[in-house]
Amino acid sequence: MTIDATPGQAVAAGGPRAATPGELAFYGACRFVAVGASRLYYPGPVVGAEHVPETGSFILAPSHRSYIDWLIAARVTRRRLRYLVKAEVWKSKAAGRLIEALGAFPIQRGAADRHAFTLALSVLATGEPLVVFPEGTRQRGPEIAELQDGAAYLALRARVPIVPVALGGTEAAMPRGATIPRPGRVRIVVGEPIAPEGFLDGSAEGSVRVPRAATRALSEALRERLQALLDEAEGRAPAR
């Protein structure tokens, strides 16, 4: 199923490409202001930032409990992060153009959006990191439920690592149903990258085909890692 012509039209027309110096400078300036302000409103440490690759493409896979998660996740690296964003955001032309300029592109929720997955693979091919919330939509509570398979599939197809990230405190700051965020402390815990190669058998190596069993196994491994990290980020487990 493909995306409508309106959301992400500029991105879809030419396809993702390597960022220009101007685009990187624009992203860096916006990140400096937004992340700097968020640190004042939501102070808190980033634990395990050394696990974020300094070069090359990877998938950043954060837990998802709040609308502010995208902003808090941006603290883990100064590199430009590309986001898969729900297509409804493009209903506001101004918002759509802004986040498009920052490198985001749309995905239709509730269906297998082949066009968005093609764009995501193209982003990874440029060597940039891609943010995918594996829980799909915002969740409630301390448990990481069964994940959607998008993050695992992309990692296996592109042969790039997944970096799990738990965002502690964001649900208390702005839970589902809230319209105004509350100030509070957050804690970001970054886990070690999960390499996709260990989930592929010999017959799948070098092939573009991704076995369903490999996708499910990687999704489950990611879910378990995210649960342990979220427990740590929320103070339910000893800090490392």
Measured distance CA(168)–CA(132) in Å, rounded:
17
Give 32-91 as a DSSP string: HHHHHHHHHHS---EE-GGGS-SSS--EEEE---STTHHHHHGGG-SSPPEEEEEGGGGG
**Strand 162-168 versus strand 187-190 pairing type:** antiparallel
Predicted confidence at residue 101, as pLDDT, reads 79
DSSP E strands in the chain: the ranges are: 46-47, 59-62, 82-86, 105-107, 130-131, 162-168, 187-190
67-109 pLDDT tens trace: 999 999 999 999 999 988 777 777 777 777 788 778 888 776 6
Per the CB < 8 A criterion, the answer to whether 120 and 186 are in contact is: no
Predicted confidence at residue 5, as pLDDT, reads 34
pLDDT above 70: residue 232: yes
Residue given tokens 């999704």 in the structure block = 219
Q: Is 190 exposed, middle or buried (0-12, 13-18, 19+ CB in 10 A)?
A: buried
Residue given tokens 């702005």 in the structure block = 174
Listed residue (156, 140, 20, 138) closest to 80, CA to CA: 20
109-168 pLDDT tens trace: 655 668 888 889 999 999 999 999 999 889 999 999 889 999 999 999 999 999 999 999
Predicted confidence at residue 13, as pLDDT, reads 40
Q: In Å, how far are 27, 65, 239 from 236, measured between CA atoms?
A: 35, 16, 9
49-66 pLDDT tens trace: 999 999 999 999 999 999
Give all domains of the chain, ordered by start, each with its CATH number.
9-233 (3.40.1130.10)
Pick the most confident of 36-45, 91-100, 177-186.
Answer: 36-45
